[in-house]
Copies of this chain bind each other. A is one copy, B any other.
Amino acid sequence: MKAIVTVMLKPGVLDPQGRAIGHALETLGFDGIGDVRAGKIIELELAETDAGKAKAAAEAMADKLLANTVIESYRVEVV
């Protein structure tokens, strides 16, 4: 199965990268741009064939390594 882990900065954490992207988009002439947040995505091929177990495994990986829960939150999707 494939697990997709999306890691974003928590709402209270300033996201300079997101801000810079928003600013650059405006400079390029795009308008109507509100908040921009930048995050990471990690796609994992897993040998596991049970969706529930794959999700649990990916969550364990996120807790342990893929996200730093002091500053980040994550969500896992299994496809």
Contacts and interface: CB of A to CB of B under 8 A. Distances in A.
Interface of A: 6, 8, 18, 21-22, 24-25, 28, 30-48, 57, 60-61, 64-66
Contacts of A48: 32
Question: Copies of this chain, how many?
Answer: 2
A59 B36 CA distance: 15
Contact of A41 (B28, B41, B44, B57): B41
19 contacts: A18-B42, A18-B43, A24-B65, A25-B44, A30-B57, A30-B61, A31-B47, A32-B47, A32-B57, A33-B45, A33-B46, A34-B47, A35-B44, A35-B45, A37-B42, A38-B40, A38-B41, A39-B43, A40-B41
